Structure 1
């Protein structure tokens, strides 16, 4: 089994969008202990490459990726920092080429059937459907009707209370965001709170 497949095992991945990350390795440890092994650090965080490098510098058991990758330069710097996967908010043939050359799993953001078809043609490992909360679970049922082979990850507005409904609709996994890793808890290094939130989210799946 490929390392990336742990996302399918957990049915979840964590997305970290914060201005302050005091200890990326401790955060990775905490999320793994809570039952979420895949972590996406986004380029909206200052100096995100440093956080990726720290999170991959020791055996945390986490699968660490780079998200909100917008340019080929960002993709290359994320890979240089040790990212295990790359995620983009939209379609980018140039970034798809870089990921393929590096043999690194790629996720691309899409919303419509046409966009998902384009993402699949670019060789993505999975498509992150965003914003999932806006579309609702039925959107996934309709998309998977003609494209049952698509691996769709629900992203945006997913919380413990609605996560299961997206999985029941056929979503491969869901993305846990600020409901699991609140900015204030992260800034305060409140690992107990984040561990509890991750466990509750994982249990809801």
Structure 2
């Protein structure tokens, strides 16, 4: 199975990747259930807290339908740790030579982060077929994605950073964009206050917007 097929199967018909920062495994489980119920089964839990790997492990074991991955990978050693915790995909904010080696050696789909055409071309030269464009909004939003797609050949793009319901359709209209990462459905205040119903509704909003955008329907 190719990496392209891997991402298609993981993301399903609403290719939005919720980006989650959570430090409590119980909340990670409740949050992931709400996202799955809202139609966004692919959940990226970032390695930004000491308990992130425990959160990934709990979600992988306890949330049917969830496809949990590890984000914010910054060191090569974290690849094996994420795999052992049950991650099914890997995401990094950038790419170093040693991290690239570890991601490519893994059997899991990986999205290395890029912010410039040079970084995107370097990732493609290393063998990656898809990259995360981060931070997308700060880099110029959909206009930047269109310009990047024009010079990076068949490299597929996943904008992350500042993506929400108001901009999702415009991002998906950009060439080579196959998915988008978004923290909006799992904002830190929703997690802190356990507002899982609102998480579920935000997930539904983004899932519906993604399907409409892919179908070419007006928002």
TM-score (norm 1): 0.91
Contact residue 149 and residue 155 of structure 2 kept, 8 A: yes
Q: Does 1:117 align with 2:121?
A: yes
Q: CA deviation at 1:46?
A: 2.7
Q: Deviations over 1:61-80 (max 9, x none)?
A: 12111111111122221111
Q: CA deviation at 1:59?
A: 5.0
Contact residue 113 and residue 143 of structure 1 kept, 8 A: yes
2:13 matched residue in structure 1: 9
- Of 143, 165, 175, which aligns to 2:181? 175
TM-score (norm 2): 0.85
Name the SS of the counterpart of 1:139 in structure 2.
Answer: helix
Name the SS of the counterpart of 2:111 in structure 1.
Answer: strand
Structure 2: distance between partners of 1:98 and 1:3: 18
Structure 2: distance between partners of 1:98 and 1:43: 16
Q: Which runs of 5+ in 2 are unaligned?
A: 211-219
Q: Does 1:142 align with 2:147?
A: yes
Q: CA deviation at 1:85?
A: 1.1
1:164 matched residue in structure 2: 169
Q: Does 1:93 align with 2:104?
A: no
Q: 1:1-205 counterparts in 2 under 5 A?
A: 2-5=5-8, 6-7=10-11, 9-20=13-24, 22-58=26-62, 60-134=64-138, 135-170=140-175, 171-177=177-183, 179-205=184-210
Name the SS of the counterpart of 2:86 in structure 1.
Answer: coil
Name the SS of the counterpart of 1:83 in structure 2.
Answer: coil
Structure 1: distance between partners of 2:164 and 2:50: 25
User: Size of the alignment, in residue pairs?
Assistant: 204
Q: Deviations over 1:152-175 (max 9, x none)?
A: 001001111111111112321111
Structure 2: distance between partners of 1:66 and 1:172: 19
Q: Give the superposed CA RMSD.
A: 1.8
Q: CA deviation at 1:19?
A: 4.3
Q: CA deviation at 1:106?
A: 1.0
Name the SS of the counterpart of 1:66 in structure 2.
Answer: strand
Q: CA deviation at 1:202?
A: 1.5
Q: CA deviation at 1:140?
A: 1.3
Name the SS of the counterpart of 2:167 in structure 1.
Answer: helix
Structure 1: distance between partners of 2:188 and 2:25: 9
